[in-house]
Chain A
Amino acid sequence: MSDAEIVCTDLVRIFTAQGVEVQALQGLNLRVESGGLVALVGASGSGKSTLLGILSGLDAPTAGTARVAGHDLVAMRRRERVGFQRSSVGFIWQQTARNLLPYLDAAGNVAAALAVAGLRKGRDERVHEVLSALDVDHLADRRPAQLSGGQQQRVAIAVAIANRPRVLLADEPTGELDDATSAAVLEAMRSVNERLGVTTLIVTHDASVSEHVARTVQIRDGRTSTEVLRSRRTDEEGREHATAEEFAVLDRVGRLQLPQDFVAALSLRDRVRLALEDDHVGVWPEATDAAPTGEDPS
């Protein structure tokens, strides 16, 4: 499928330090369609920041392939990486220090991103345009230290989209914000995604993010494990229903991770029984008598 903006296949990243190996990504698969808004949720140490580092071109995978906005991140050379970072992707990190230059005001930060990409004509107009899009135009001459956390992240979003990237990557954009502000920032990102059609990947440990996005991917132990798809449906009487369905992710060779609560509820350990039915696969604890219908497992 060619219109996927983010494609990761069997992505592996191993860190080596003085003889100790840490496998941060263990064959991760992820697809985000063009214009999609996806949240990648995982606990601390699950490998989500490593993935974002690779997707933003700051780190390289040990094995596997990764394509973002049409660029092969594994084969990418320095020159291409520079162009990729200038105009194909935008980033938002949790820490302001990594998003905004502290000594430039909001307008200056946006202008700096434009300057890096080589935009000369109409720079002021573009600065005004993106700041207005995020409703922070009135804060244009304030430096990051003079902005609240939410305002800082809005400016960071404005900076990230200044060069009209095809993909927006956000690493814990709400990590340092309270709930209400978080919601506002996430809404701002959703609105950017909807209005500009920019493919957006938000990486977070905050499960509440999933309420603001259509698709939430769980990452666990360096792999994507489950997905939650949300949709809104209007019934015949005009009432809106929000539905959320949870899916497990199946990789190319058919591996899948069972959700932690499923495993806990049935005390699944070491081995499980499997059975293929017409339209589903059944899973039983090894020592259960509730034998699958059909044939005797013994």
Chain B
Amino acid sequence: MARRSTSTGSLLGRHLAAHPAGAVTLAVLVIVLSAVATAAPRAVAAMDSSAVQQQLSALTPAQRDLVSSVVGVPEKGGSASPRLEPASDAVWGQFDDAVMRMRAEYPQPLRSSTGEPDYLLAVDPLDITYLGTGHHTRISLGFDPRSEHHVRYVEGTAPGAYTGDVLDVALDSANADALEWAVGETRTFSQGTGTVTMRLTGLFAPRHGTDDYFSHAPLLLRPSIEQQGLGPPIYTGTALVDPSAVEFIGTLPVAPRLQIWFPLDVSTVTADSGDELLTQLREVERTPPTISIVRPGFWGSDVTFRAPAADALEQALGARAASDAVIVMMAAGPFGVMIAVLALGCRVVARRRADALRLLGARGVSPAGRASLLALEGVVIALPASVLGSVIGLFVTPGGWSAGLIVVPLAFAAITALLLTTSLRATEGTARADLSPAAGDRWRVALELTVVVLAILGTLALLQRGVSGGIDPLLVAVPLLLAGAACVIALRLYPLPLQALANRARGRAGLGGFLGPSRALRDRAIGLAPVFALLVGTAVAVSSGVLLTSVQNGVTAAAQTAVGADMRVSGTGVGADQLRRIAAIPGVAETAAASGNIDGIIDNDGRRTNIAVVWVDPGELAQVQRGSAGAIPVGGLDGGSPGGIPVLVSPSVASAMAGSSSTRVNGEKVRVVGTVAAPNALTDRSGVVIVAQRNADALADAEADPRTVLIRLEPGARIPDVSRAVTAVTGTDATVESAKAAAAERAALPVAAGLQAALTAAIALSGVLGGITLVMTLVLGAPARARTVTLLRMLGARRGEESALVAWELGPPVVAAVVVGVALGIALPTVVLSGVDLRAFTGGSIQPALSIDPVATAVLVIGFLAATALFTAVALVASRTARASSILRSVPEG
């Protein structure tokens, strides 16, 4: 056999390769933890981004894109680097350059979030009359040198160059149909004092299926139809003309309007870049670009851009800050547990090295040298493991790669090395745990006092000052500090009942009853780390459960508030007959109609405010909304009208009425009997006055059909069936919503769904980490336990008594950790979450109340305990294979 190398490197390699079981355990742990640490922030960022994107996507392109609308025409001039056709370029080139340059000069991320700019010069619609039929129509002329990017000609050709007599135009087929204008036909229109002759050269259609271009110029695709009296409808549409014929505008008596817009690509907006993008959008609004415009006459203004998306973005980012605060706070617990578990894993590895390190120490390896050996081992184990874990974390979550991601594996390698190094002390000496020197005790007391004092101070500070938006360090620290303090209390208190038990058991027969409590007291198998992990795990599980229940109830309440009852029909007038038919639909228990939602005016001593007036039948409404969240308090509406008509007002109306003794609505004196949140199920306006049906005549034309019908369903009614039946009565113009569907929709919003996923993951992670903690504690305690058990077996103890011993070893601290953990889990949300804005998750306007579901909490705790018991049993069975002889001989003698 070839002799192996005796080089230091080879020896080191063989040292590190020995006892792979501990290293593999630690590596697996590091892989899991670093995968979670990498994936969790990315998953949260992805959730935030998709929430922001969803909010922006809800806007139309016109509400979203960077837009400018100015009266004037571009200054004529060619481009330095033409990209338009020569004829167009002579007119538009210089302008096109300026617009392109503007985007090129945008800072990132704005530049990549905006698409290629588009522009359209369209004159205000001309009132013209076709001399052939005498039909009156309104037509706008659109000039766009880049129109071929958006339209294709389905019939005929693009408009030819303007030669001075006939203006070639192109329309889409809807406009052409409306005007009954055939391709090739030349028409002369009277216009003002003169005439204008146009020839339809072609029909166009959108080049792409969906093109946001047409959101900015909707009249290109579809005429707007205005019905005035009994005459024929008046169509307004936009025609495309030769873009280089801009000078033709000079002959028209209407203003040219130049629209420029940069499409905002919602998919590129992320939560991370959102804040910067918002600042840049605001900056674009403030800074006029250098684009030269020729203004007709002296009116008009310089080109300025508006970014209507900025407000929506700001709102979305605000909601993200609220959700991040909650998630970061909830993540603090599992993170603390992770470190505790990692510390235990390091202890397992260090324990396996103890013999070798003692020997090396005796042979003259200095403590620093031994610590370096452990640190090296930590890096060797943790670096590849954490890189692998991070890569897994990267793969399972969306998002790109960034240099910052390197931090996770490096941090894990460093933490592991550090934790292993600090485990060195645990490897030295074979002192019994109950013979610890007094100095260690003093340190322990000092540390415990520090944690408790910090927890108290942090909690007081948090309660006093409240929660600030975004990621609040105090909000992250306080739960951990409270957990630490609870841990201290648990560790200090559980020996007390145990001592009492041990004292009582002393006089009795039975091994387990006496030896169990005594061993649990004197030779603690479970230290700080496992108790901390179990306690925080339970607390996280319980408080996640509380938060989850609260958010779910909040979502339901918000949906009920928005819909107003089990179901709501809105969007169209519902006649008395239709109402009767709805009430007769199987499954419908009761209905209540709300009418009006018409304009009204509050007159507060001369100050006038526009509001909406809604009237209801208070009795019906109260019946339908019975037990529903956000029910409208109709109680006082039925009263008589001495001192004014009783009304409910929204807060904004209440403030408009403030300071006046005689407020009038539509000229009638009113008496406010209560306030009601608005917008609500009956109106989408924030300024609203609700009156009883019988008082409505005085305020408005009360004959109008109800526009909102609230429905209370029979228990067990099938919502889709009822919904279909209602639609059959009202027609498809009506919107039929159910509170259940609305709640499901809200729960599916990225923020709400993300929180639910995060909380579920937190519960699962706490359970798994708690289990791992127990297994590792059992592994660490296995040699000592095996010795005791073997010794007892040789003394004639029965197997049951051994199990009792193990139960005594684990039971008291586990029970203490779980009991204190449940208490902490219930206390934590009330202390910490009361100040956090949960509305971001519910989609409602009212902060949901914290609700504790005792059944769900009990199920969680029992599940946690069951998982713990299972892990314990598995670990015990696995460690029972030790042989008695080897165990007894391994006792160090001295």
Contacts and interface: CB of A to CB of B under 8 A. Distances in A.
Nearest to A94: B893
Binding site of A, secondary structure by majority: helix, strand, loop or mixed?
helix
Contact of B358 (A82, A94, A98, A105): A98
A107 B3 contact: yes
A85 B435 contact: no
B247 interface: no
Interface stretch (A115-123, A211-219, A283-291): A115-123
A115 B11 contact: yes
Contacts of B358: 98
Contacts of A120: 8
A99 B359 contact: yes
Contacts of A101: 15, 18, 356, 359-360
B6 A124 contact: yes
Nearest to B6: A111
A6 B876 CA distance: 50
Interface in B1-31: 1, 3-4, 6-8, 10-11, 14-15, 17-19
A115 B8 contact: yes
Contacts of B18: 101-103
B1 A141 contact: yes
B1 A85 contact: no
A49 interface: yes
Max chain A C-beta neighbours (<10 A), residue from B17, B363, B366, B894: B363
B366 A104 contact: no
B11 A141 contact: no
Size class of the contact patch on chain B:
20 to 34
A116 B364 contact: yes
A103 B14 CA distance: 7
Interface in A50-97: 53, 56, 58, 78-79, 82-87, 91, 94-95, 97
B571 interface: no
A108 B364 CA distance: 17
A113 B364 CA distance: 9
Contact of A78 (B1, B11, B365, B367): B367
A119 B6 CA distance: 11
A116 B365 contact: yes
A201 to B, nearest CB: 16
B371 to A, nearest CB: 13
B839 to A, nearest CB: 58
B750 to A, nearest CB: 53
A85 B6 contact: no
A85 B11 contact: no
A161 interface: no
Contacts of A56: 362
Nearest to A58: B362
A82 B364 contact: yes
A241 to B, nearest CB: 38
A51 B762 CA distance: 55
Nearest to A79: B366
Nearest to B892: A95
Contact of A18 (B4, B19, B435): B435
A86 B385 CA distance: 35
A114 B797 CA distance: 48
B355 interface: yes
A193 B4 CA distance: 29
A87 to B, nearest CB: 8
Interface residues on A, range: 35 or more
A98 B358 CA distance: 8
A97 B8 CA distance: 21
Contacts of A85: 361-364
A132 to B, nearest CB: 13
A83 B11 contact: no
A78 B366 CA distance: 8
Contacts of B360: 101, 112, 116
A86 B364 contact: yes
B19 A108 contact: no
Contacts of B434: 18
Contacts of A97: 355, 359, 890
A108 B359 contact: no
Nearest to A115: B8
Contacts, number: 86
Interface string B498-509: 000000000000
Contacts of B362: 56, 58, 85, 91, 98
Q: Which of B14, B361, B434 has the most CB of A within 10 A?
A: B14
A140 B364 contact: no
Contact of B11 (A82, A95, A98, A108): A108
Contacts of B892: 95
Contact of B6 (A49, A78, A83, A123): A123
A90 to B, nearest CB: 9
A199 B360 CA distance: 22
Nearest to B19: A103
Given A98-B355, A102-B18, A103-B18, A86 B6 contact: no
Contact of A141 (B4, B364, B890): B4
A25 interface: no
A127 interface: yes
B366 A82 contact: yes
A53 B359 CA distance: 13
Q: Which of A85, A114, A127, A140 has the most CB of B within 10 A?
A: A85
A121 to B, nearest CB: 12
Nearest to B365: A116
B367 A98 contact: no
Interface in B332-362: 355-356, 358-362
Contacts of B17: 103
Most buried by A among B17, B362, B367: B362
Contacts of A141: 1, 3-4
Nearest to A111: B6
Contact of B894 (A49, A87, A100, A104): A49
A53 B434 CA distance: 22
A108 B14 contact: yes
A83 B14 CA distance: 25
A49 B894 CA distance: 6
A17 interface: yes
Given A18-B435, A102-B18, A141-B1, A83 B364 contact: yes
Contact of A104 (B11, B355, B365, B890): B11
Given A108-B6, A140-B3, A86 B363 contact: yes
Contacts of A116: 360, 363-365
- Tell me which of A86, A100, A111, A127 has the highest count of chain B C-beta atoms within 10 A of its own C-beta: A111
B349 to A, nearest CB: 14
B440 to A, nearest CB: 13
- Counting chain B CB atoms within 10 Å of each CB, the highest count among A53, A103, A110 belongs to A103
A141 B362 CA distance: 24
B90 to A, nearest CB: 84
A104 B359 CA distance: 13
Contacts of A140: 3
A239 B11 CA distance: 52
29 contacts: A18-B434, A78-B367, A82-B364, A82-B365, A85-B361, A85-B363, A86-B364, A87-B364, A94-B893, A97-B355, A97-B359, A100-B359, A101-B15, A101-B356, A101-B360, A102-B18, A103-B15, A103-B17, A104-B11, A107-B4, A108-B6, A108-B10, A108-B11, A115-B8, A116-B364, A120-B8, A123-B6, A140-B3, A141-B4
Given A91-B362, A112-B11, A140-B3, 13 more contacts: A49-B894, A82-B365, A83-B364, A85-B361, A85-B364, A99-B359, A103-B15, A103-B18, A105-B4, A107-B6, A108-B10, A110-B6, A127-B6
Interface of A: 17-18, 49, 53, 56, 58, 78-79, 82-87, 91, 94-95, 97-105, 107-108, 110-117, 120, 123-124, 127, 140-141
Going nearest first, the 5 A-B pairs with the smallest beta carbon separation are A86-B364, A103-B18, A111-B6, A85-B364, A17-B435
